Amino acid sequence: MATNEEITGPISQEDIEAADKLKNEANEYFKKQSYNNAIELYSKAIEKNPKNAVYFANRSIANLRLENFGYALSDASKAIELDRAYTKAYYRRAAAYMSLGKYKLALKDFEFVTKVRPNDQDAKMKYTECNKIVKKIAFEKAISVDKKEVNIADSINLDAMTIEDEYVGPALEDGKVTLKFVTELMEFYKQQKKLHKKYAYKILIDVKAYLQKQPSLVDIKVADEAKFTVCGDIHGQYYDLMNIFKLNGLPSETNPYLFNGDFVDRGSFSVECIFTLFSFKLLFPDHFYMSRGNHETLDMNRMYGFRGEVSSKYTSQMADLFTEVYNWLPLAHCINSRVMVMHGGLFSKDDVTLDDIRKVDRNKQPPEDGIMCELLWSDPQPMMGRAPSKRGVGCQFGPDVTNTFLQRNGLDYVIRSHEVKNDGYEVAHDGKCITVFSAPNYCDTMGNLGAFITMNGKDLKPNFTTYEAVPHPDVKPMAYANSFFNMLCQ
């Protein structure tokens, strides 16, 4: 970015004062969790005075809150460039690095602060905590290499798990999910009770076995007069998931659903959400579909709460098993060969076909580029062409990219999720790219509506139902998130 002198010479006192006023207004929006408005005003402050590191650091934390990790990283780096001694900017950049799974780079920032401020106890503590995470991850990787051939699902001994007499919750029948089981499970969860670990493990093992047989792109057939529902991110908001079923009916063979990724993380009822969804998957395998999202990944689960929640409610071994299961979730679905549904978006290249997606080897953590990464991470933009991702992963794609992809593959439009929208949905790219987001008042702070899409098989015209958040027990979002990461993002 060019400095102000290169454009207009020295910054006037009037611009300095105006910038500071804009920054103060932005801070008020930030306190109200109105992050987009805050970013807009921080940006205006930067236009007036591009030499103030605080404005960039403040915009960085607002972008972090919106999961715009790429922008957050860029802003924090600019703040450091402007003021090498600005500790907060290093912390912001470290949080952005950690969000992107780049823990060693985060550690370097903490290390730098401890060197320039050797008596700063807070810096020393942050360096120590980050170092623990880096060492723990290195240890986990070493173990996974040693145990490369170990399949967690195969190593679980269900017969050794006894159902205690005092357990009065839902039970599988002959080891199978039934409608009675899932109905009782949903009520049980509303009372904040826990499914027995034997049944929980059995569900995971059975879901994995089913998903392993599925292609990376699943074709869905919907009859002309049949209804089909697509839901976006749920993010551990169990009571809002129950509200979707109240508004739209329970999943069944005559009421099929597709949940489009990000079932977990952020919200603190992720375990309840995922076991309910997996139960419906086993009950109606050909009428209930689930796509992988960017939060069905190890790095996200480690930072944003799911791994901590599973370890707290069950065991770290079960958290590892979830990682194994998530690796087999399909990456995309295609409805009646006309509507493509994926969590994130389209690609950095124009030549991607549906067959290319079908051939993706998905049994892994997503790479940092390529088809799998972009299906989980990319976002649309209003401008033509492509741009680097605001998230630091995937790409941003314009209406021309969407049109080219649709024409190449004989499709009508795409549905994706991945982004909070005030109305719960957004229709972009001349109606060809639709975003649906199903977690209302995301993280108890965003104030957005949730939405889901219904259509019939004949015309596949999207109809939108929106709804507000419903009350939930007093467990805050991110309650199980990495405490050190939470502290950095304050």
Same domain, 138 and 211: no
Q: Which domain covers residue 225, as residue numbers?
A: 154-488
Same domain, 263 and 214: yes
Inside any domain, residue 149: no
Q: How is residue 396 written in tokens?
A: 């941003």
Inside any domain, residue 464: yes
Same domain, 387 and 481: yes
Last residue of a domain, one of 77, 112, 144: 144
Same domain, 320 and 246: yes
pTM above threshold 0.85: yes
Same domain, 134 and 204: no
Assess contact for 295 and 306: CB atoms under 8 A.
Answer: yes
| Tens of pLDDT, residue by residue, the chain (490 residues) | 333 334 456 899 999 999 999 999 999 999 998 899 999 999 999 999 999 999 999 999 999 989 899 999 999 999 999 999 999 999 999 999 988 889 999 999 999 989 988 998 888 888 898 898 889 888 877 776 555 556 899 999 999 999 999 999 999 999 999 999 999 999 999 999 999 999 999 999 999 999 999 999 999 999 999 999 999 999 999 999 999 999 999 999 999 999 999 999 999 999 999 999 999 999 999 999 999 999 999 999 998 999 999 999 999 999 999 999 999 999 999 999 999 999 999 999 999 999 999 999 999 999 999 999 999 999 999 999 999 999 999 999 999 999 999 999 999 999 999 999 999 999 999 999 999 999 999 999 899 999 999 999 999 999 999 999 999 999 999 999 877 777 766 6
Last residue of a domain, one of 102, 120, 144: 144
Instruction: Identify the CATH number of the domain in which residue 397 sits.
Output: 3.60.21.10
Inside any domain, residue 114: yes
Same domain, 457 and 405: yes
Active-site residue set: 295
